[in-house]
Amino acid sequence: MSITFNYMNFELGVLRFENDTFVYNSNPQEEQKAKIASFGFLDYDLYNSVNLLSKKPFIEFQPFLSQATREDIAKLCNITSKDSDIEKLIKMANKNIRLGAYSLSLK
Amino acid sequence: MKRVILDKNIQKINIDARGSRPKFWFYFKDNPDEKWLFKNTNRSNKSGNQTKTYEDIGEVVFSRICKKLKVDCVEYKLATALNEEEKIEGVICKNYNSDNSVEMSGYTLLESYRRYIYDNYQGLQIPAENTLENYKLSLENLNFVQTENKKHKNAQSFSLNPEKIYRQLSRMLILDYLCCQSDRNWYNISFLIDDKTKTLEMAPLFDNGNIFSWNFRKAVIEQQYKILKRESAYSRYIELYNSKSMAMGIKTPVSHRNIDKQIQSNNVKIKDLPVGLFENELAEIIANDKMLSAFLDECGQIPLFIEEAFEDIADEEYTLLKDQSKMLAKVKFEHLQSLVNKKISEKEEDNEYNI
């Protein structure tokens, strides 16, 4: 399953989870459009990523994970304390959770 | 003040994931064009004394104080959201960014400055601090960069008035100090870039409910009031502050958050900065700026504004909040003003000596 990371209506890139590893691939054209639309103020460091690997979630996704236990979000997304980070992100993407101009969606 | 009841008269749009309190966007069915935000101001959706806070009253009272002082602030109303299972108390406010201007948090602004310095000054690291001084430097740098961008006709360029925004931040800081604001973290400060005028402005103040310890249980507020009432002197305030710093409001210009551990609570790191250091810095800033000095003079009326703010919040339960906050605001105002006067006298003495 893949998660799209969005800024406003721009699909910045796609996160996958394979072999216990987070894999991120950018959408460079959308990244550029988002950069222009935001006047350069993106909280984002994953530009031009091609199969970028990490054992931990990329920092861009941390604000979502830190909100996963908030009562209303956990309830809406059916997140439990047993869920792994990727499970939390998938469940939040399934409900298109928005954090300001940033949001997650399922691909 | 009657609570606005949110029931079948509203249509929920979506959850807003920002902040620690549950919140959602909605519109009233009789006016679908206007978006509102509901924020649960208690610690949990479950009702009961253990979860209740007075942050809702804090939001309303702070916004009314701001209105009197002509400080741009989101206007909050008390509200109760009803659904099949729950009755949730909180506040509502209109969307302050209805034209979808680009919005950035204080964190984003400071981080862009940090990155600029790192990239352009051979990896120089500047402290990740949510302080007025850092905002000042960030805004001045941003103004420089944007002026360069305009020269090169960069489509992304925009205008800003660093002095105006700095003064707005300073006024916020004075109010936060006098009202014992304890949650001005860098996600509770925001900036907007108007798409039409291409101008960066400070957003109206929001999430101001953690004032006068009203985010704590009633027993804590009662205890504070009892002690302060015996002797409402500043030394008594400091004694309380040192014993229960979290409950007594800010210690720093704006509370810190560790840039490397973004999800860590912002409250952990504010304990060690001595209150005297912060107050002296604030007094220095005010003493050097006649407009801020005049603003501080106006703030002397905050106890009166609090009295007025509570006029239609007549519930007996809130008398404690009114009396406690008036006392705290008075004690802190008198202390800050004496520090400012001392700084001004010192400055005048220096000037005479130089002549």
SS3 A56: coil
Same domain, B226 and B350: yes
Q: What is the pLDDT of residue B249?
A: 44
Same domain, B82 and B161: no
Q: Which of A58, A64, A70 to mutate to test the interface with B (most CBs of B within 10 A)?
A: A70
Q: Cβ separation of A99 and B17 shorter than 8 Å?
A: yes
According to DSSP, the residues that pair with B27 across neighbouring strands are: B11
| Over residues B31-56, mean pLDDT | 82
Q: Cβ separation of B23 and A63 shorter than 8 Å?
A: no
Whether B68 shows a pLDDT value over 90: the answer reads yes
Secondary structure (DSSP) of B3-19: PEEESTTEEEEEEB--S
Strand positions, DSSP E, B99-162: 102-105
Q: Cβ separation of B15 and A63 shorter than 8 Å?
A: no
Whether B62 shows a pLDDT value over 70: the answer reads yes
Strand positions, DSSP E, B83-167: 87-94, 102-105
Evaluate whether residue B262 is within a structural domain: no
DSSP H helical ranges for chain A: 28-37, 62-67, 71-77, 85-94
The encoded tokens of residue B19 equal 């902040």
Q: Which of residues B62, B94, B126 is at a domain's end? A: B94
Q: Cβ separation of B14 and A96 shorter than 8 Å?
A: yes
How many CB pairs (< 8 A) connect A and B? 61
Whether B325 shows a pLDDT value over 60: the answer reads yes
Evaluate whether residue B236 is within a structural domain: yes
Evaluate whether residue B255 is within a structural domain: no
Nearest to B108 among A41, A59, A71 (CB): A41
Tell me phi and psi for residue B188, to 5 degrees.
-105, 25
- With beta carbons less than 8 A apart as the criterion, state whether A89 and A15 touch: yes
Same domain, B123 and B179: yes
Establish if A1 touches chain B: CB-CB under 8 angstroms. Answer: no
Evaluate whether residue B26 is within a structural domain: yes
Q: Which of A6, A9, A39 to mutate to test the interface with B (most CBs of B within 10 A)?
A: A39
CA separation for the pair A46, A28 (Å, rounded):
10
| Chain A residue numbers touching B107 (CB-CB < 8 A) | 43
| Over residues B157-165, mean pLDDT | 94
Q: Which of residues B37, B68, B94 is at a domain's end? A: B94
Establish if A98 touches chain B: CB-CB under 8 angstroms. Answer: yes
The encoded tokens of residue B261 equal 């551990």
Evaluate whether residue B253 is within a structural domain: no
DSSP assigned state of B204: P
Strand order across the A21-26 sheet: A52-54, A21-26, A10-18, A3-7, A102-106, A98-99
Establish if B114 touches chain A: CB-CB under 8 angstroms. Answer: no
Q: What is the pLDDT of residue B353?
A: 76
Q: What is the pLDDT of residue B49?
A: 59
Evaluate whether residue B132 is within a structural domain: yes
Burial environment of residue B310 by CB neighbours within 10 A (0 to 12, 13 to 18, 19 or more) = buried
Within chain A, which residues score under 70 in pLDDT? none
Nearest to B103 among A36, A59, A101 (CB): A101
Evaluate whether residue B207 is within a structural domain: no
Same domain, B168 and B40: no
Establish if A45 touches chain B: CB-CB under 8 angstroms. Answer: no
Same domain, B29 and B71: yes
CA separation for the pair B195, B158 (Å, rounded):
9
Residues 70-89 of A with CB under 8 A from B: 70-73, 76
Q: What is the pLDDT of residue B264?
A: 41
Domain harbouring B32, CATH code: 3.30.200
Same domain, B198 and B114: yes
Same domain, B110 and B238: no
Q: What is the pLDDT of residue B186?
A: 84
pLDDT band at B260 (very low <50, low <70, confident <90, very high): very low
CA separation for the pair B130, B331 (Å, rounded):
26
CA separation for the pair B44, B216 (Å, rounded):
13
Number of domains in chain B: 3
The average confidence (pLDDT) of chain B is 85
Q: Cβ separation of A66 and B40 shorter than 8 Å?
A: no
Q: What ipTM does the predicted assembly reach?
A: 0.91
Q: Which of residues B172, B202, B232 is at a domain's end? A: B202
Nearest to A73 among B17, B44, B102 (CB): B17
Looking at per-residue confidence, does B148 or B263 come out higher?
B148
| Over residues B134-144, mean pLDDT | 93
- With beta carbons less than 8 A apart as the criterion, state whether B300 and B329 touch: no
Nearest residue on chain A to B149, alpha-carbon basis = A39
Same domain, B13 and B52: yes
Q: What is the pLDDT of residue B293?
A: 96
Q: Radius of gyration (Cα) for chain B, nearest Å? A: 21
Whether B259 shows a pLDDT value over 70: the answer reads no
Same domain, B225 and B349: yes
According to DSSP, the residues that pair with B284 across neighbouring strands are: none
Cα B173 to its chain centre, rounded Å, is: 7
| Over residues B247-275, mean pLDDT | 42
pLDDT band at B242 (very low <50, low <70, confident <90, very high): low
CA separation for the pair A19, A35 (Å, rounded):
32
Taking CA atoms, A9 is separated from A12, A103, B108, in Å, by 9, 9, 19
Nearest to B263 among A41, A62, A99 (CB): A62
Looking at per-residue confidence, does B274 or B122 come out higher?
B122
Same domain, B230 and B330: yes
Q: Which domain holds residue B114?
A: 102-202
Same domain, B78 and B115: no
Neighbours of B317 (CB within 10 A): 11
Same domain, B185 and B153: yes
SS3 B326: helix
pLDDT band at B243 (very low <50, low <70, confident <90, very high): low
Evaluate whether residue B208 is within a structural domain: no
